[in-house]
Amino acid sequence: MEELKYELWLMKLSIGNVAKNKLTDCLSSARAVYEADKSLLMSTNMIDEEVADRIIEDKKDVDLDSLYEEFLSYDQKLITRSMSKYPDKLRTISSAPHGLFYIGHFPDNFDKCVSIVGARTCSEYGRSVATELAANLARRGYVIVSGLALGIDNAAHQGALQVDGVSVAVLGCGVENCYPRGNINTYTALQKKGAIISELYPKTKPMSYNFPTRNRIISALSNQVIIIEAREKSGSLITADFALEQGKDIYALPGRITDSLSGGCNRLIEQGAGIITSVSDFINNIEEVRLDTIYTGNDMDYDNFFKEKEDRIVYECLDFYPKNIEKIVSESNLELMRVLASVMNLCEMGFAGEAFVNQYVKLK
């Protein structure tokens, strides 16, 4: 518990996640950062003098024991990057949260995880699809992540909870704040079967500028991000942008071109997002890619099977999760037509398969 005092101090310290993470990586712990003098902090070359001065000044006014006692009164828990339970999917993203406060039951892993987000003022159709998707995914052991907002977010959480599944809400405020208050029933239920998490220190109020940044956590925890009903300038599209940056698979629910709630989703589809045309088809697709097509043999001599040397190069660029042609071209440094030819060869030999349009997956 002694180390937790220093982690709490670092979590509350008003410097960015990048600086916190670099310093703890360099000096080995939050405690080492706390005990470092200005000279040592500067010698890491991880921060500038202004940040070093801020750290030194903050230490003069903090009482670690009082900070720890106050935290205990909140009845929350904290996971930081130094702990094994910290999600691996968050470790590699830009500005990874140094830690996460939570209440409820933090999932052991996020290996099977889907995010579902969308409009607050959604239609009954959108609400119904979100609920059905979440429920069917949760039955298959997927963790459902969303942001506890009104509308689609709430429907996704409720869908998972209704089938006794696991759901996680990522807040843009302290986890003791049920925001919006209208979702108090969901907020309470999540604590019994799932978790409410936030990178923000306890008692942080729900300020508008905190919500866009929390969206990077929603997308990062997931393998697939689903957008259900979003206007052209919806906050859900921020989540989609983070998902794209993080290399996640993005899906959208199509809608009528005259419906403003579908403007953002239709635009995502136009830009290459997957289309949700059926709940069962979507689940079967991601289950097929994730489970059914994975070959576990490790001793085959692949060189004897490839027709061309480029086939081996392209094969090594593939993964057991879908990867689009443009990404394969970039990683292989081969011309587009040569990549397409190799992909076709690999598909014919059973080494690759087309998971979605122009997205390919390794089968062996």
Two tokens at 248? 């996640």
- Place 79 in a pLDDT band, splitting at 50, 70 and 90: very high
Q: Please check whether residues 174 and 311 belong to one and the same domain.
A: no
Q: What was the pLDDT predicted at 267?
A: 94
Two tokens at 161? 């909870």
CA 213 to CA 90: how far, in whole Å? 13
Phi first, then psi, for residue 195 (nearest 5°) are -155, 155
Q: Please check whether residues 203 and 334 belong to one and the same domain.
A: no
Q: Please check whether residues 279 and 132 belong to one and the same domain.
A: yes
Q: What was the pLDDT predicted at 308?
A: 75
pLDDT at residue 296 is higher than 60: no
pLDDT at residue 322 is higher than 80: no
Percent of the chain with pLDDT over 70: 93
Out of 73, 103, 125, pick the residue that ends a domain.
73
What is the domain count for the chain? 3
Q: Please check whether residues 259 and 148 belong to one and the same domain.
A: yes
Cα of 90 vs its chain's centroid, Å:
7
State mean pLDDT over 189-213: 95
Q: Please check whether residues 215 and 239 belong to one and the same domain.
A: yes
Q: Please check whether residues 123 and 66 belong to one and the same domain.
A: no
Name the nearest CA neighbour of 107 among 142, 158, 133, 135. Answer: 142
pLDDT at residue 222 is higher than 50: yes
Which one is predicted more confidently, 96 or 285?
96
Are the CB atoms for 27 and 44 separated by under 8 Å?
Answer: yes
Q: What was the pLDDT predicted at 294?
A: 40
Of 66-80, 270-284, 288-302, which has the strongest mean pLDDT?
Answer: 66-80
Are the CB atoms for 259 and 265 separated by under 8 Å?
Answer: no
Residue 94 lies in a domain: no
330-354 pLDDT per residue, tens: 888 898 889 898 988 888 887 888 7
Q: Please check whether residues 310 and 272 belong to one and the same domain.
A: no
Q: Please check whether residues 129 and 223 belong to one and the same domain.
A: yes
Q: Please check whether residues 134 and 24 belong to one and the same domain.
A: no
Q: Please check whether residues 283 and 306 belong to one and the same domain.
A: no
**DSSP-assigned states of every residue in 254-278:** ---TT-GGGHHHHHHHHTT-EE---
Q: Which positions ≥6 away from 35 have C-beta within 8 Å? A: none
Residue 78 lies in a domain: no
Q: Please check whether residues 197 and 276 belong to one and the same domain.
A: yes
Are the CB atoms for 186 and 144 separated by under 8 Å?
Answer: no
**How far, CA to CA in Å, does 364 sit from each of 8, 52, 127, 315?**
45, 51, 39, 10
Q: What was the pLDDT predicted at 349?
A: 81
CA 244 to CA 169: how far, in whole Å? 21
CA 213 to CA 211: how far, in whole Å? 5
Q: What was the pLDDT predicted at 303?
A: 52
Out of 24, 42, 73, pick the residue that ends a domain.
73
Are the CB atoms for 217 and 90 separated by under 8 Å?
Answer: yes
Would you tell me the crossing angle of helices 279-287 and 124-139 to the nearest 10 degrees? 30
Out of 73, 94, 127, pick the residue that ends a domain.
73
CA 244 to CA 40: how far, in whole Å? 38
- Place 252 in a pLDDT band, splitting at 50, 70 and 90: very high
Q: What was the pLDDT predicted at 177?
A: 95
Residue 36 lies in a domain: yes
Which of 5-9, 318-322, 344-348 has the least mean pLDDT? 318-322
Beta strands in 161-287 (DSSP E): 167-170, 194-198, 224-228, 249-252, 274-275
Residue 105 lies in a domain: no
State mean pLDDT over 313-327: 83
pLDDT at residue 86 is higher than 50: yes
pLDDT at residue 297 is higher than 50: no
Residue 102 lies in a domain: no
Residue 272 lies in a domain: yes
- Place 205 in a pLDDT band, splitting at 50, 70 and 90: very high
Two tokens at 199? 């990178």
| CATH classification at residue 344 | 1.10.10.10
Percent of the chain with pLDDT over 90: 71
State mean pLDDT over 196-205: 97
Residue 259 lies in a domain: yes
CA 53 to CA 38: how far, in whole Å? 7
Q: Which residues pair with 353 in a beta bridge?
A: 361
pTM of the model as a whole = 0.78
Longest dimension (CA), the chain: 69
Two tokens at 338? 């040569």
Q: Which residues pair with 228 in a beta bridge?
A: 118
State mean pLDDT over 308-314: 85
Q: What length is written for the chain?
A: 364
Phi first, then psi, for residue 312 (nearest 5°) are -65, -40
Residue 190 lies in a domain: yes
Are the CB atoms for 361 and 322 separated by under 8 Å?
Answer: yes
109-123 pLDDT per residue, tens: 999 999 999 999 999
Q: What was the pLDDT predicted at 320?
A: 67
pLDDT at residue 71 is higher than 70: yes
pLDDT at residue 91 is higher than 70: yes
State mean pLDDT over 235-252: 93
State mean pLDDT over 195-210: 96
Q: Please check whether residues 282 and 310 belong to one and the same domain.
A: no
pLDDT at residue 298 is higher than 50: no
pLDDT at residue 243 is higher than 50: yes
Which range marks the domain in which residue 59 is found? 2-73
Q: What was the pLDDT predicted at 307?
A: 61
Q: What was the pLDDT predicted at 305?
A: 57
State mean pLDDT over 258-284: 92
